[in-house]
Chain A
Amino acid sequence: MVRLLAIGLVAGVFSALFGVGGGIVIVPLLVAVAGLDARRATGTSLAAIGITAAAGAVAYGFHGDVKPGAAALIGLPAAFGAVAGVTLQQRLQTRTLTFGFALFLTAVGIRLLV
Chain B
Amino acid sequence: MEILAAVLGFVGGVLSGLFGVGGGILFVPALVLVLGLTQVHAEATSLLAILPTVIAGAWQQHRYGNVDWRAALLIGLGSIAGVEGGVQLAKALPEDVLRRLFAVFMLVVAANLAWRAWRSEAYPSRDDEA
On whether A47 and B72 interact (CB within 8 A), knowing A57-B47, A73-B6, A90-B125, the answer reads yes
A21 to B98, CA, bound (A): 17
Interface class of chain A by DSSP: helix
In this complex, the interface size class of chain A, counting residues with CB under 8 Å from chain B, is 35 or more
A78 to B119, CA, bound (A): 29
A79 to B21 CA separation, bound complex (whole angstroms): 13
B110 and A42 within 8 A (CB): no
- Pick the contact of B10: A5, A77, A101 (CB < 8 A): A77
Q: Are A52 and B14 in contact (CB under 8 A)?
A: no
Q: Is the CB of B14 within 8 A of A84?
A: yes
The number of residues on chain B lying at the interface, defined by a beta carbon within 8 Å of a beta carbon of chain A, is 103
Q: Identify the closest chain B residue to A31 (Cβ).
A: B121
| Given A19-B27, A67-B41, A106-B107; 6 other pairs, CB 8 A cutoff | A8-B77, A42-B61, A51-B72, A85-B15, A92-B125, A109-B107
Can you show 17 pairs from A to B with CB atoms below 8 A apart? Answer: A8-B76, A8-B79, A11-B75, A14-B86, A15-B86, A20-B50, A36-B71, A46-B61, A47-B73, A48-B76, A60-B87, A75-B49, A78-B10, A78-B23, A81-B9, A82-B16, A109-B110
